[in-house]
Amino acid sequence: MVKIANIKSVLLGLLLLVPIATGFPCSMYKITVNGKTMVGCNEDAWRTTPHIWFETADKSRQYGAAFTGSRWDGGNGYAPQSGMNEMGLVYSRLAASAPEIEPIDPKLKPIANPTQYLKDILHSCKNVDEVRAFISRYDHSFFIEDVMIYIEKSGRYLIVEPYALTIGKDANYVLSNFCPSVTAESDARKLDRYRHGVDFLKRKSDFSLGFATALSDTMHVCRERIGDGTLLTSIWNAEEGNVNLYFYHQYKNTVRFNLKAELAKGDHLVALEPLFPANPEFEKLRDYKTPLNSAWMRLFLLFSGMLFFFSACFFLVVYLRKRAKLRYKYALIALFPVGLVLCFYMYVLLRNPGIFYFPAPYQDPHNQLVTIISYLPYALPLLLLLMIGLCIKIIRERAWSVIASGLFVLHNLVLLTLSVLLGYWGFFQIG
């Protein structure tokens, strides 16, 4: 018999696994011409809340700074995706998974509050040497799925990987979703946005805003399905202390902020969407609901996953205990693998936001099992038809107990609701 304690442990595990993966592809470049440095950052995200905010110097902050970001982190405010401080030190963060390859020095400080930690670096450091000294005190392998870069006014830069800190001084530099110390150039060039940026800079380079805007445009992302991609582009002029912002991969309109002038106003936060003309592609993204931006969808998928797992275990136990007496007993044993597969599919939907934005069936280059399970919606209509037909027979003939019949009815109602959602998400389409 399946122990209740074991079932509770698995359900608790499901609860802990609910947070959706938040790593998003991004890209950046830096250009240094005649001692002047400009940095461009493309934040590629499915979030719909891009902001810029300014934090002044005070007793705990040596330098004032500006940050951009779109991910709300509760009491910490928005998590910084890019930024610049009063000394012209620029920062950018990109998603890039790294293997866990080294033991952690127990003397290193843990990073308890990553959002505050990232902001503290710009508030405390004026150049990349100070950034390296600051970060070296911490276990920065905490950011195992990120690569970060800091660029000072002179053009020198520090690449921060989970297990490496590397200072460079190339006049032009492009970075995307990979760790440079462990990635061959041939592999890096498989990323379109990186390859486009590198090739663009091979042709020419200058320090004008027009050139930087064209380069950002060349590296931006706009996917075919719903037009999603680059949410915000920021171009930081470290020499003049300005930042030009471009909203949702439209490069005809820009809004400029001067860091010194904004810091004179005190700490403040600015929502960026209202500053730009209406953008139909963005409105389509904003109205499109997924577990990433809809609490009720997240809760429904979590509830469904727990129900499918519980029902799989329940029907297995009923079969083992009463198979000699029950009709349709082979349906009971069949519901065990069906429930486990559906439970795993709920997990996949909760943990892979890209599945809602890329063409169906979703192809995961890193996980073949996710790719295979993404074909499940095509079999779901037939499965649902068979299960509803069986459910009607069981109820009419009173073949199962009230509890078993009721659970089977609930199972099918949830599966029917799930089918409607899968249709809304376009999972029954091909390509």
Domain ranges of the chain: 4-18+291-424, 26-287
**Computed from CA positions of residues 309, 363, 178, 24, in that sequence, does the dihedral angle turn out positive or negative?**
negative
Cα of first residue to Cα of last residue in the chain, in angstroms, is: 44
Q: What is the pLDDT of residue 38?
A: 97
- 270: which strand partners? 52
Exposure string of 125-138, with b = 16+ CB inside 10 Å and e = fewer, is: bbbbebbbebbeee
Please report the DSSP string for 39-98 in residue order: EEEEEE-S-S--EEEEE---SS-SS-EEEEE-EE-GGG-EEPSEEEETT--EEEEEE---
Contact 239, 88 (CB under 8 A): yes
Kindly report which listed range (45-49, 203-207, 234-238, 422-426) carries the lowest average pLDDT score. 203-207
Residues sharing a CB contact under 8 Å with residue 229, sequence separation 6 or more, in sequence order? 44, 220, 221, 222, 223, 249
Scanning the structure block, which residue is given the tokens 């910084």?
80
Q: What is the pLDDT of residue 15?
A: 41
Q: Is the pLDDT of residue 5 over 60?
A: no
Percent of the chain with pLDDT over 70: 94
Q: Is the pLDDT of residue 4 over 80?
A: no
Phi, psi of 235 (to 5 degrees): -120, 110
CA distances from 15 to 244, 336, 415 (A): 41, 21, 20
Kindly report which listed range (101-105, 330-334, 338-342, 388-392) carries the lowest average pLDDT score. 101-105
What is the distance between the alpha carbons of residues 83 and 236, in angstroms, rounded to a whole number? 8
Structural tokens at position 92: 């950018």
Kindly report which listed range (105-109, 198-202, 338-342) carries the lowest average pLDDT score. 105-109
Instruction: Give which of 166, 145, 175 is closest to 40, Cα–Cα.
Output: 175
What is the distance between the alpha carbons of residues 56 and 269, in angstroms, rounded to a whole number? 12
pLDDT digits (tens, 9 = 90+) for 157-190: 999 999 999 999 999 999 999 999 999 999 999 9
Instruction: Give which of 97, 96, 92 is closest to 82, Cα–Cα.
Output: 92
For residues 398-427, average pLDDT: 95
pLDDT digits (tens, 9 = 90+) for 288-336: 999 988 999 999 999 999 999 999 999 999 999 887 788 888 888 999 9
What is the distance between the alpha carbons of residues 378 and 372, in angstroms, rounded to a whole number? 12
pLDDT digits (tens, 9 = 90+) for 223-274: 888 888 899 999 999 999 999 999 999 999 999 999 999 999 999 999 999 9
Q: How many residues does the chain have?
A: 431
What is the distance between the alpha carbons of residues 232 and 82, in angstroms, rounded to a whole number? 10
Q: What is the pLDDT of residue 329?
A: 85
- Strands 51-55 and 242-247 turn out to be unpaired
Ordered strands of the 51-55 beta sheet: 164-168, 157-161, 146-151, 90-95, 82-85, 65-69, 51-55, 268-271
What is the distance between the alpha carbons of residues 17 and 296, in angstroms, rounded to a whole number? 17
Mean pLDDT (the chain, rounded): 91
pLDDT digits (tens, 9 = 90+) for 199-215: 999 988 888 999 999 99
pLDDT band at residue 12 using 50, 70 and 90 as cut-offs: very low
For residues 66-74, average pLDDT: 96
What is the distance between the alpha carbons of residues 124 and 58, in angstroms, rounded to a whole number? 11
Q: Is the pLDDT of residue 103 over 90?
A: no
pLDDT digits (tens, 9 = 90+) for 17-44: 444 444 467 999 999 999 999 999 999 9
For residues 426-431, average pLDDT: 83
Contact 220, 43 (CB under 8 A): no
Q: What is the pLDDT of residue 24?
A: 64
CATH 3.40.50.10480 for domain 26-287, yes or no, is no
